[in-house]
Structures are given as structure tokens and as C-alpha cells.
Amino acid sequence: MDRRELDQIIDYLKREYIGESTGHDWYHLDRVRRQALEIARGEQVSHTYIIELAALLHDVPDEKFVEEEEGKRKLDLILSNLSLDESEMTLLKSIIYSISYKGGHEAALTSLEAEIVRDADRLDAIGAIGIARTFAYGGKKGRPLYNPEYSVRTEMTLEEYRNGDSSSLHHFHEKLLKLKDLMCTDTGKALAEERHEFMIRFLEQFNKEWTGQE
């Protein structure tokens, strides 16, 4: 493990993502990294360098932010500076390209490391921080806080999930409330419980205030 390489990546990501305004900023990447390391400890995984790298780099090629080919080139350029062997590089890429939710069109996971990073990323999408990130992302995308004329979408293509008519509040029902039951690791499942319950309480309060039933 080369900590100098990791420190260089951290410095780069801080510069690149510090002012990002959709909730996918440097602090998100750092939280996912720390959460992944916590899950790894809970799952008794001792070799965590690839997990840490994947957690930090998981948003670099995300098509929410960059064109697919541009994202691949950007990630490949970063990875070209790492002293990883072929099997480590394959594992790292497989994690990065498999953890996105994509409206339920998610990729199959092939390693415990990928399960850990996916759980860590999804934990940051729920609870108090998940609520804040949802409305930050919705505002950036021009979505309303809530529109009761919209219906909760149950079946969506990836294009519909990314760009179809929805509101930030609908996103809870279309994704966030599903994540607790989609956790892969026992540690992730345990950590998701409190955050899930917090979202339920938030939605109940939101409904009271929206309908004037306080």
C-alpha cells in the first residue's frame, strides 16, 4: 500500500470536488471512505487499500456528472498513476463501476469489497445527510421540493430515472426508502436502521406541515 499515492489522490479530489453543489462533493467522498472502512472492520476485512481507493474515486466516472467516455478517461488517467498490479486494478474498477443505483438497474456485485463500498455509499444517501443531499441535488436539477400531482414511479428506465418528472420528496419513495433492504453486509444493514427510521419521521413531519395537520 502506497500512502503517498493515496494522499495525492485525496489532494486532487479536494481540489476537484470541494465546491460541488449536488451533495457529491469532497466531503461526501470522504464520508463514504470513512464509512467503508468502518464496515470493513465490522466485516473483519483487514486489507482495505482497494476499498479506500474505490470509495474515494467512485463518483469520478459517474454519468450523472460527466459523459461516459469522458468519465472513463478521467478515471483511467488517475489510475495510471497508481502502482497496482493487474488483479488489484481489475478489482478496483469492478467496484467503481458497479455501485451506482441507476434507478434499480444496478450491476451485480462480485466481491465483498464491492458490497462494502456500495453499502457505504448508500448509507450516505439516507438519514439526515441523505435528506440534505436529496434536496441539494433536486435543487441543482431544477426539481420541485414536492409536487402532489406527480405519482411515485415504480418502473423506470435509466433515462426516466435520471431525467423524468419527479420531485425531491418523490425520490424518497423511488429510491431512498428502498436502500435499507438493499444493504449487502450485516454491518451495513445494522447501520442503515437508524438512518431509515429518521427518514420516516422526517416524511411524517413533512406531510403534517404540508397538509396543515400539525
Residue-wise pLDDT tens digits, 98-154:
988 765 557 788 899 999 999 999 999 999 999 999 999 999 989 999 999 998 888
CATH number at residue 16: 1.10.3210.50
Q: Report the pLDDT value the prediction gives residue 120, as an integer from 0 to 100.
A: 98
Neighbours of 196 (CB within 10 A): 19
Write the single-letter amino acid at 212: G
Rounded-to-integer distance, Cα 120 and Cα 125, Å: 9
**In angstroms, rounded to a whole number, what is the distance separating the alpha carbons of residues 156 and 3?**
42
Q: Is 155 exposed, middle or buried (0-12, 13-18, 19+ CB in 10 A)?
A: exposed
CA-wise closest residue to 101 among 36, 27, 204, 179 = 179
Residue 70, pLDDT > 60, answer: yes
Amino acid (1-letter code) at residue 169: L
**Residues 178 and 33: beta-carbon distance below 8 Å:** no
User: Looking at the 3D structure of the chain, how many domains does it have?
Assistant: 1
Tell whether the model's pLDDT for residue 39 goes beyond 60: yes
- Return the pLDDT at 164: 72
- pLDDT at site 104: 58
Helix-strand-coil split of the chain, %, nearest 5: 65, 0, 35
Q: Find the range with the poorest average confidence among 114-118, 160-164, 204-208.
A: 160-164
Residue 1: which residues within 8 A CB-CB, separation 6 or more?
A: 49
The CA distance from 162 to 100, in Å, is 12
Q: List, for residues 170-204, the tens digit of each pLDDT value.
A: 999 999 999 999 999 999 999 999 999 999 999 99
Q: Which pLDDT value is given to residue 65?
A: 79
Range of the domain at 14: 3-211
| pLDDT given at position 101 | 74
**Cell matching residue 141:** 436539477
pTM assigned to the model: 0.92
Give the whole-angstrom CA distance, residue 209 versus residue 106: 35
As a whole number, the mean pLDDT across the chain is 91
Distance CA 117, CA 169 (A): 26
Q: What is residue 138's predicted lDDT score, i.e. its pLDDT?
A: 94
pLDDT of residue 50: 95
pLDDT at 73: 94
The pLDDT confidence band at residue 24, using thresholds 50, 70 and 90, is very high
